[in-house]
Amino acid sequence: MSQAATELIRISGHAGTVPGAGLNREFQVCKLVDTTTCIGCKACEVACLEWNGYTFSETTFNNSYQTMPETAWNYWNLIKFNEHEREDGTLMLLMRKDQCMHCEDPGCLAACPAEAAIVQYANGIVDFQEANCIGCGYCMTGCPFNIPKFSPKARKVFKCTLCNDRVSVGLEPACIKACPTGCLHFGTKKEMKELAETRAEQLREHSGYREAGVYDPPGVGGTHVIYVLHDAKNPELYGGLPKNPQVPLMVRLWKHPLKWIGNFGIIFGVVGVFIHYLRYGPKVVEGDEDKGHGAKP
Amino acid sequence: MTNGWIDIKNTDMMLIMGGNPAENHPCGFKWAMEAKRDRNAKLISVDPRFTRTSSTADLFLQIRAGTDIVFLGGLIRYALENNRIAKDYLANYTNAAFIIKDGFKLPEDGLYSGFDSEAGKYDFSTWNYEGADGSDRQAGTVRHSPDVVPGKAGGATPPPHLPPNVAFDLALQHPRCVFQLLKRQYSRYTPETVERITGIPRDQFVKAADLFTSVRKDGDMKKVATIIYAVGWTQHTFGTQIIRTAAMIQLLLGNVGRAGGGVNALRGHSNIQGATDMAGLYDSLPGYLKAPVPADSDLDTYLKRITPGSSKPSPWASFNYYSNTPKFAVSLLKSMYGDAAKKENQFAFDYLPKVDRDYSWTHIWDDMYNGKVKGMMAFGMNGVMIGPDTNKNINALKKADWLVVGEIYPDETSEFWRAPGITADEQKTINTTVYRLPCAGFAEKDGSMTNSARWATWKYAAVPPPGQARLDQDIVAEIFLRVRQLYKKEGGKFPDPILNLSWAYADAAHPSLSQVAMEVNGKALADLTDPTTGQVIKAGQQLPGFAWLKDDGTTACGNWIYSGSWTEAGNQMARRGNEDPSGLGVFQGWSWSWPANRRVLYNRASCDPDGKPWDPSRKQVWWNEAAGKWVGNDVPDFKPDSAPKDHMGPFIMNPEGIGRLFAPIGVIADGPFPEHYEPIESPIKNPLHPDQSNNPLVKKFKTPYDKFGTPDEYSIVCTTYRLTEHYHYWTKNNPMNVQLIPEPFVEIPVELADEKGIRGTEMIKVISARGTYMAKAFVTRRLKPMMIDGKKVYQIGLPIHQGFRGIAEDEGRDARTPANLLTPAVTDPNAHTPESKGFLVKIEKA
Amino acid sequence: MSREPYLLPNGRVLRYTFHERVVHWLTGVSYLYLLFTGLAFWSPWLFWIAVVLGGDTISRELHPWFGLVFIVGVSLMYKMWHRQMKETPSDKAWWAAIGHYIRNEDDQVPSADRFNPGQKLLFWGFFWNGILLLLSGLILWFPQYIPWNLRFLRLAAVFLHPVFALATIALFIIHVYMGTAMERGAFGSVIRGDVSRAWANKHHHTWYEQLLRDSAARK
């Protein structure tokens, strides 16, 4: 763990207080992906592999420039290519760098039952601690972005760390470093948000993308990876970016009402039968030599 | 590039055509994105395919491959019709006002005046300026002919030359002035014609033309547009003319010489600019000096032929920088032959080989196929893969005696005998001896690399070459030293050029590239004094620049344009200064740019005739009246003390001093103005002149492999390209790249796929008259069917990377067919580049 | 089933055969493991159970396998008992008298067959919840094989698996209470297999009567 434990603001599967709860960091980090200047060169994909020490994984041609259909446990950063024909007949080749969004309200962390397998730092990074991962895959279900991926070999789940190891020593994430066009930016959430809004405004005013906007979905409390999109009204066009991602209702129901109903129910049941025993006692069989268990045959 | 990579950030408008920089130059494309972000620059992408460059464009037009001249000609017409031209620039900095000889004929029927149908070439005598007061008829003026291969030695008619005093009409009204001829030439390129030939709907074309020429709206000169291209333009039988059309547009709009403007060729390899500068073509010597031909009986004749005399309207001045050619040539001879090059033996001019015919790429292979070339040394390139007509080349290699390949991977050239289709029995009959020499890779050697922006940047070896791999220069040195030893021992017909070649490296068997670079820069061989400043360069010292070169044997210089790259102050190419006071991305202190560390060529043209910048917010150079010289943020590309009132033209490398809208006396062999010709294989007859559909200067070879398809059998237009995921033929050996694009594919339109019942990822055959290529279908909407001259035409594209050596190939995941077995070996008559970017095929399910 | 000599020579009644007892404990032990590891994943406050049971990763690995064992047990129970667990017309009356049953006013409760309707509820409750737990559990076991567009299955499983589990816990609490504290002799019956005649007569009067009739008929 390269970040101090006192900077943990959320810990999965954790009973009791969180050391960094309430900690208000001066800044929260943010990655900005400007899809309108992405050229799909995949330098970020290779930089991610090289920094994180993953090497070759076999792929096959799938009628696309896209390296593989979706991110993999050992392929955290994938540019999704989508051909989109607009109403006026013009074509768009939408390219979006897909990776962990580092939600402010992370569904993976909410769903994770294992103590400290997923943590959130005060700077906003949501990081998997594989040593604590039990491989249940609940995070995969909790994530609205289809990011955490199960490794059948390691029997654990992996995802982008936002280069927590680099960021914690003052470097930008590897993908940012590799990007040749300046489509990727890294800085504080505030700065990135401003930069993104400025760019979106420019696209609306000067490039004819009237629906250009910033993707920072409120349903998960905002994200620490934000997008500038040509068409912010239709994020689904960009390889399945959800319009209004949420920590899934089922996970919320499970974690909150069900948990309390269940806990109450179990305690009520145990206490209930005890009180019943105190009030009514056992059912006694009259004339029976065998008054209880353990009697000899 | 007239400008440079970083300079693209200064532009207001980009036309990207015949190139796909987002995929093939992703790092440089940063500056295009910066222009969009910081200046709201517009980007127009015109390409046969919707590429990743197109995805960032404000406007994309799908063009039929090989019809670029029609589009650009239409653009010229639009600019002229709508008065979106730079009037002052045009009149003063181009030959728009020059009057052309009577008898010159425009190619309304497909041919310019002077065509000799028997010889298949033009007589250039009418392609010339009219001399004022008949000076063009005076005898004894210095001749200038670009014709590097004149007929037989001592041919009958002397080549035409430019008149020293040119007739002109600044009002641009004379019916034979270049401007009026230009207007007439492109009046035929209407939006309707553009639509009919290129397949671009006229409203879309007009939209693009309006957008591009909007930088000259109402004659305002502040805005600048750039044109960016790559081999999508060069690889045609009229490639040079496409680029010329672009240059003409830029002259018409006054965009050349200006920050954010210019005509910018994106080179396809890290140091291909350097290779070209060092005489990459058979008909040039280092620094683009023309190679001697048999008719050059002595040095004097040679120098007279290649040194132009000035040619201009008499009230104007012309620097005519190439009048210094003898200094460059003699210094080169001194550099090559050292003390053996003496005044008495014409500086060893006789040692230089004389070019007696065409030795360009396709001819080498044709000669080998015909048994004339017996052996080949292939270094730093995969010969079987890069050229057209792979099957012919493989069959040519079968006939060779020997082949030496210096490479970092086992490649298709060194294993041509394992090409698909060659059986084990046939392999036994191939007697070519192949020597494979493992070479050092780019990270394993030092030296300079010259990028598209003409920056020579020194680099250092990161790691030593692995195993038995050796540095290229060590291999070349050893071959040379052994050959020299043989000549020493056995004599031979003419051993002198070999025995006397200067080889003054500290370690003869391992020449240091630093020493080679110093040799290229040049040094003084005697004490030299500058007559104006009194500065002295001592014998043996490095020269500060090419202005010091002499034609009397007192200087040596391996390549005049690189003079100044390694001076007494040290290796200028290794500089890493990152100051940019002007903010224009000039970076004077970063590496070194030829010529003379200038970053933007012809930058005098960034100022109006009075010497004031057209756009004060982008000041490159300007005339400082008080100092009496040109100063600026860049090195002025001009005679430093020539005052604006002298009216010296900014294009100092032309004897006229102006930019050429009209290319006179055959400097471009196939016409003074570009004219649209159809690719050799085309789905239609040229609607402009069906009887002269193709470029009349194109010649075809006669082997059984030089076959051509007709549109009734091969109806689909095919183009080839590279992908961002791969670098040429190397990276298919690197797992990381193979993972990104694991297999070859063919991009085909959805409509064509539906018609043929082909689904994405299915294996298909692409068949041309020359061969069959196999790969998986990539069904996409990024290629659409087009209406060409009333016919529905499909266009498909395929990347060139995969062949029969590499990871996917070895795993059997690839059909192992190289893409270039489809392409024809027909070339551009000027640059000898083959037509890989537009030919006919048919497809079927495999 | 009735061919077996249920009235034992020592004057006791065979309540559960050896086979039945083995199946019961196979199911019971696997259920206990599932319960404890399940509770560990249910709440961070109980995560220590997983550690006690050999580690959190091992618990996650074995929980589904024990689930399969449990389902095998439930299936065997179904095979053994499903006929006897069928609802009969008299069950209604028993349920109507459930208040008396709870208050130990057993004389006012209609007599029961081999399994009283409460036991039947327990059986069917475990049976159906077992199936549902199996289905949702399989999804939770291999979430990586559920494609993204069928994600609702994973989400449903995440929520419903504990819902079904809670239902079995409710049944389980009553079952354990009844089998140990409340009905003296019941626990012994599932260990040793036999009960006293009085016990059989009291708790499963109809069944006991039938045994007597069968026995007389055999003689």
In this predicted model, what pLDDT tens digit does every residue of C147-177 receive, in sequence order?
999 999 999 999 999 999 999 999 999 999 9
C touches which chains (3+ CB pairs under 8 A)? A
Cβ atoms within 10 Å, residue C4: 9
CB contact under 8 A, C174 and A270: no
The phi and psi torsions of C103 (rounded to 5 degrees) equal: -85, 15
How far apart CA C104 and CA B38 sit, in angstroms, is 87
pLDDT of residue C1: 45
Question: Cβ C104–A140 below 8 Å, yes or no?
Answer: no
Which domains does chain A carry? 5-247 (3.30.70.20), 248-283 (1.20.5)
Distance CA B280, CA B833 (A): 13
Contact between residue A215 and residue A42 where contact means Cβ atoms under 8 Å apart? no
Instruction: At B438, give phi and psi (nearest 5°).
Output: -70, 125
Per-residue pLDDT at B185: 98
The domain over range B690-845 is classified in CATH as 2.40.40.20: yes
HEC string for chain A? CCCCHHHEEEECCCCCCCCCCCCCCCCCEEEEEEHHHCCCCCHHHHHHHHHHCCCCCCCCCCCCCCCCCCCECCECCEEEEEEEECCCCCEEEEEEEECCCCECCCHHHHHCCCCCCEEEECCCCEEECHHHCCCCCHHHHHCCCCCCEEECCCCEEECCCCCHHHHCCCCCCHHHHHCCCCCEEEEEHHHHHHHHHHHHHHHHHHCCCCCCEEECCHHHCCECEEEEECCCCCHHHCCCCCCCCCCCHHHHHHHHHHHHHHHHHHHHHHHHHHHHHHHHCCECCCCCCCCCCCCCC
Chains A, C: CB pairs < 8 Å: 156
Asked if chain A contacts chain C via 3 or more Cβ pairs within 8 Å, the reply is yes
**Residues from chain B contacting residue A61 (CB–CB below 8 Å):** 741-743, 745, 761, 776, 778
Q: Which of A253, A269, A287 sits opposite C198 (nearest CB)?
A: A287
Instruction: Note the pLDDT of residue B526.
Output: 97
pLDDT tens for C9-60 read 888 999 999 999 999 999 999 999 999 999 999 999 999 999 999 999 999 9
pLDDT of residue B147: 46
Q: What is the pLDDT of residue C7?
A: 83
Does A85 contact B at CB distance below 8 Å?
A: yes
Low-confidence ranges of chain B (pLDDT < 50): 137-156
- Asked if C104 lies within 8 A of A269 by C-beta distance, the reply is no
Compare CB distances from A182 to B34, B50, B742 and report the shortest one's residue. B34
What's the pLDDT score for residue A195? 97
Name B81's bridge partners: none
The architecture of the domain spanning B6-89+186-270 is: 3-Layer(aba) Sandwich (3.40)
Within 8 A of C144 by CB-CB distance, chain A residues are 137, 140, 149-150, 152
C166 to chain A: which residues are within 8 Å by CB? 258, 261-262, 265-266
pLDDT at C6: 80
Cβ–Cβ gap A180/B22 under 8 Å: no
Which residues of chain C are within 8 Å of residue A266 when distances are taken between CB atoms?
166, 169, 173
Is pLDDT above 80 for C4?
Answer: no
As beta bridge partners, residue B62 has: B47
Q: Pick from C45, C169, C180: which is nearest to A266 by CB?
A: C169
Look at residues C160, C133, C135 and name the one whose alpha carbon lies nearest to residue C146.
C135
Are β-strands B447-450 and B555-556 bridged in parallel, bridged antiparallel, or unpaired? Answer: unpaired
pLDDT at A4: 65
* Cross-chain residue pair A152–C56, CB shorter than 8 Å: no
Tell me if A91 and B738 make a contact (CB, 8 A cut-off): no
**Residue B822 — left, alpha, or beta (φ > 0 → left; ψ -120 to 50 → alpha)?**
alpha
Is pLDDT at A295 greater than 70 in this prediction?
no
Query: Is there a contact between B255 and B41 (Cβ–Cβ < 8 Å)?
Result: no
* CB nearest to A49's CB, from B40, B50, B736: B736
**Which residues are CB-contacts of B372 (< 8 A; sequence separation ≥ 6)?**
none
Domain ranges of chain B: 6-89+186-270, 690-845
Q: What is the pTM of this model?
A: 0.92
In C, minimum Cα distance to A139 occurs at C143
Contacts of C182 in chain A (CB under 8 A): 276-277, 282-283
With a cut of 90, say whether residue A294 has pLDDT above it: no
Q: Estimate the crossing angle of helix B68-81 against helix B239-252, to 10 degrees.
A: 20
The Cβ-side half-sphere exposure at B3, using a 13 Å CA radius, reads 33
Token pair for residue B693?
Answer: 């559909």
With CB atoms and an 8 Å threshold, state whether B736 touches A206: no
Question: What is the rounded CA–CA span in Å between residue B346 and residue C22?
Answer: 112
Q: Tens digits of per-residue pLDDT, A194-226?
A: 999 999 999 999 999 999 999 999 999 999 999
Domain C13-83+120-218 class in CATH: mainly alpha
The rounded distance, in Å, linking the Cα atoms of A244 and B495 is 81
Q: How far is it, in rounded angstroms, from Cα B244 to Cα B667?
A: 11
pLDDT, tens only, A68-93: 999 999 999 999 999 999 999 999 99
H helix or E strand, kind and range, residue B686: none
CB pair distance less than 8 Å for B782 and A182:
no
Q: Which of residues 171-200 of A touch B (CB under 8 A)?
A: 180-183, 199
Which residues in chain A are closer than 8 Å to B52, comparing Cβ atoms?
Answer: 39-41, 65, 93, 95
From chain A, the residues in CB contact with C188 under 8 A are 290, 293-295
Report yes or no: A61 at the B interface, CB cutoff 8 Å: yes
How big is the CA angle at B660 (ends B655 and B661), to the nearest 5 degrees? Answer: 160
Chain C residues with CB under 8 Å of A249 CB are 155
| pLDDT score for A7 | 83
A21-53 per-residue burial string, b: 16 or more CB within 10 A, e: under 16: eeeeeeebbbbbbbbbbbbbbbbbbbbbbebbe
Query: What is the DSSP-derived secondary structure letter of residue B537?
Result: E
* Chain B residue set in contact with A, beta carbons under 8 Å: 22-23, 26-27, 29-30, 33-34, 36-37, 40, 50, 52-56, 58, 60, 723-725, 735-736, 738-743, 745, 760-761, 776-782, 813
* ipTM of the complex as predicted: 0.91
